[in-house]
Amino acid sequence: MNSVERNSFEAIGRETEGIDVRISHRIIQLFSEGLYSSPNKAVEELVSNAFDAGAENVHIILSSDLRDPNATIVVIDDGEGMDSGGLKQHWIIGESTRRRKNGSSRRKPIGKFGIGKLSTYVLASKLTHISKSGDIYYAATMDYAKLTGGPEGDSQGVFDEQTIQIPLRELTEQQARNVTHPWTEGTKPGYRALDLFGKEASSTWTVAIMSDLKDMGKKISPGRLKWVLRTAMPQRGDFRLFLDGKSITSPKLDDPLARLVIGKDVIQLSDPCPKKLIARKDEAEPEDSVHRYGVYHERLLGRVSGYIEIFKDELDRGKDKFGQSNGFFVYVHGRQVNVDDPGFGIERNLLRHGTFSRFRMIVHMDSLDDALRSSRESFQQGDLYLAAQNFLRAGFNLARNKLVEHDRGQTPAALISERIGSAPASMTRRPLIALAKMVVDKKATPFYLRILSEIPVEEQAEFPEAFKQRLEESDGLIHAVELTPLDSRDGMAIFDARQGKLRINASHPFVAAFQEFFSRPRLSLPLEMFVMSEILMEAHLYHLGLDEKVIRDVIGRRDELLRQLVKTSARRTAGMIAMALLDAKEDANRLEEEMRAAFEAMGFANVIHIGGSGEPDGTAEAHLSATGDGVVRRYKVGLEAKSGGKVTAKRLGVSGIRRHMGKRNCDHHLVIGNGFETTNAKTSASVEEINTYRGETGKTITLMHIDDLARLVRIASAKRIGGLSRLRELFRNCVTPEESQGMGR
């Protein structure tokens, strides 16, 4: 089609009269450009006009190249057409005739201010309407270029009102058919939905054509426009939208974990929700209608309907750049009013992302119409807007609590398996399967992955395939996670590939440093995922075919780095630690920390925090030089710090210490305190019990004053008492605090 044919819609037909439009060029410029900062919102306004006209089908058609001089943006609808009187009323700026008439008899109008037509000013220089009403075809073209502000020096600002005349034309059916042909012929659903001519034609319709596009009109993105329209416009059975022939439908989501209907499942909400909400059901609405159930707030909010949904996974993960599906969706008369603000103006620090990304709240709140600004994209600040925000926040808080309850019910093993299962197989399952086969074939001895139970010979060949099938199940990788004390020389964890058990090593310094997190299901997942990532990295290195010595070196260096990062004494001298010990005599938690720091300063390795009921405060290991025949020598000490007053026999609890030592495989145990009642008969009985235990097992328990440990730190770190071997003599030979004091001098 050449340019003359293309623009024939601007002049075709018989001119019958003129439409006088009184408007200020400066006002329309400031008003339109201020209202519509987005070209997509401007197109949305034209669709809103079609909705208010009772249209059941609306088709938006964009030229394939909007930068072409002859490009157009066209909106076709089968709503109430405009005759000469309707076109005159249409160009009365600032008056919504749909509102005055209450719109279509079936719908509440979603336009309000009568300025939607000005949205076209930011998109194009010309706007042509071709409309059928009463079997007559009408056309009118507004040329915004005729609005001039006059010479710069003569400008009267916003008072430069002009009257321009828009020629009103009548067309024959054939003329109307010819001029609209480029946008009505096609095989896609949008073209088939709108019949403008023939026996099945709509009785009334309107075609709005924007031509001579401005820069903003040329910037329309079909993807973004599609998202805005499917998100913002009413979703109802009698209103269908099409873009370039294709139907615009709401995005499909996974089934929610829970769906709470406002007014049915949710009536009263906790703070900061406005008080005195009452349930109000509309019996005229069908059972599945979003408007059947609702709550009513007399003072401000009026009737509110909708629902809250929470989801297993993040809704914003993996979506395209236009695909926002989480957050608040607030509708006024069926039209979303917060398309570009999913948080509805609420401070984001009040909307935790972990919940916000797995939550959506659909709310129909027509009372907000009174707070809408003319752009329909922002609100007037005031009591109504604040009450709406507080209602939404209360709904969010309810969703957060529901998600916490759900997540608490998920086992750590299931949570880890689920997340790993969603990662690419090339980074997770394939390397693990390959490494498991290497272990079965005795071709690899990895640091993390083990097969702890012997596989019968007849099952060894089938194990890799069985392991592969298990990994393909949603929860097949890990069946159990347990925190258990393993050898301190092992890594942070051992993954038993056959049993599907992740055994996190409580004796590893890094794990011990964060044990309070590892031992609490709600907090443990990030650290467990970190541990599992180390296991997967090792498997990947084997899968790459690297030499096992290289892999061992890499994994070993990483493990040593983690151990060094959590050392507590790295920034302080022995003297500083000794002083800190003395300062912590009355502070239980701090005394435990400083006791561990003291052992690190004296050269002990793998000094870890344990704590908790039925556990020592910590453990420490001493690695000695090997014997002449190469036998490795080391010993392990349990640590116990008693703050406050003198330690009585009951507080000492020798039987409990014995259990700790057995559980943690300790050779010795040191208890420090501000004093011990060693002259007391009961305490003397404790000493006898300690001696009996040593005679039976060879394991020892030593009592020591805090002051003496502080002194020991100073001299031991200076290597004045023979190092770790000399300290072992102290643990072997000393029981009472008096003996410990004498040994350390």
CA distance to 30, 477, 497, 507, 508, per residue, from 502 (Å) = 65, 10, 9, 15, 15
Which of 48-62, 284-298, 540-554, 679-693 bottoms out in mean pLDDT, i.e. has the lowest? 679-693
The DSSP symbol for 692 reads H
Listed residue (606, 573, 594, 620) closest to 706, CA to CA = 594
- CA 77 to chain centroid: 39
Indicate whether 365 pLDDT > 60. yes
Indicate whether 712 pLDDT > 50. yes
Q: What CA–CA distance (Å, rounded) separates 439 from 432? A: 10
Indicate whether 162 pLDDT > 80. no
Alpha helix (H) residue ranges in 60-137 = 84-90, 97-101
pLDDT digits (tens, 9 = 90+) for 190-239: 999 998 998 888 889 999 999 999 998 998 989 888 888 887 776 666 78
**pLDDT value of residue 390:** 92
| Mean pLDDT over the full length of the chain | 81
Two tokens, residue 536: 């997967």
Specify the pTM. 0.47
347 vs 117, more confident:
347
Indicate whether 679 pLDDT > 60. no
Indicate whether 35 pLDDT > 60. no
CB 124 within 8 A of CB 117: no
**pLDDT value of residue 115:** 54
**pLDDT value of residue 612:** 78
Confidence bin at 720 (pLDDT 50/70/90): very low
157 vs 571, more confident:
571
Indicate whether 72 pLDDT > 90. yes
pLDDT digits (tens, 9 = 90+) for 538-567: 999 999 999 999 999 999 999 999 888 876
678 vs 480, more confident:
480
Domains of the chain by start residue, with CATH: 3-239 (3.30.565), 258-408 (no CATH), 412-565 (no CATH), 574-743 (3.40.91.30)
pLDDT digits (tens, 9 = 90+) for 246-272: 998 876 667 888 999 999 999 888 888
Indicate whether 158 pLDDT > 50. no
Q: Are strands 302-310 and 359-364 parallel, antiparallel or unpaired?
A: antiparallel
Helix (H, G, I), strand (E, B) or coil at 528: helix
Indicate whether 319 pLDDT > 60. no
pLDDT digits (tens, 9 = 90+) for 81-103: 888 888 888 776 555 554 444 44
- Please list, residue by residue across 577-595, b when 16 or more beta carbons sit within 10 angstroms of its beta carbon and e when fewer do: bbbbbeebbeeeebbbbbb
